Amino acid sequence: MRPVRLALGVLLVAWGVADYLFPRTVLRVQSDLLNAPPEPTEEFAAHKRRVGLVCLVVGVVTLVASVG
């Protein structure tokens, strides 16, 4: 169970970093993959940063729980 939690924590941290630091790029890639609106707005980018922050926090908590 520990390797699964560790992998999940790393995945969440990586996803959170990408969402928080590069929200417009992530939105463009997601819109290409999901046929969403092609032009990400600043409102979507701000939302993506918040999602990234949540992913970072949850990922760090998961990593701490898997190590401890």
Q: Where are the domains of the chain?
A: 2-67
| DSSP of the chain | -HHHHHHHHHHHHHHHHHHHH-HHHHHHHHHHHHT--SS--HHHHHHHHHHHHHHHHHHHHHHHHHH-
What pTM was estimated for this model as a whole?
0.81
Residue type, 46: A
Q: What band does 15 get if pLDDT is binned at 50, 70 and 90?
A: very high
Show the tokens assigned to 10.
């790393």
User: What is residue 37's predicted lDDT score, i.e. its pLDDT?
Assistant: 67
pLDDT tens digits along 22-67: 998 888 888 888 876 666 788 888 998 999 999 999 999 999 999 8
Q: What is the CB neighbour count within 10 angstroms for residue 30?
A: 14
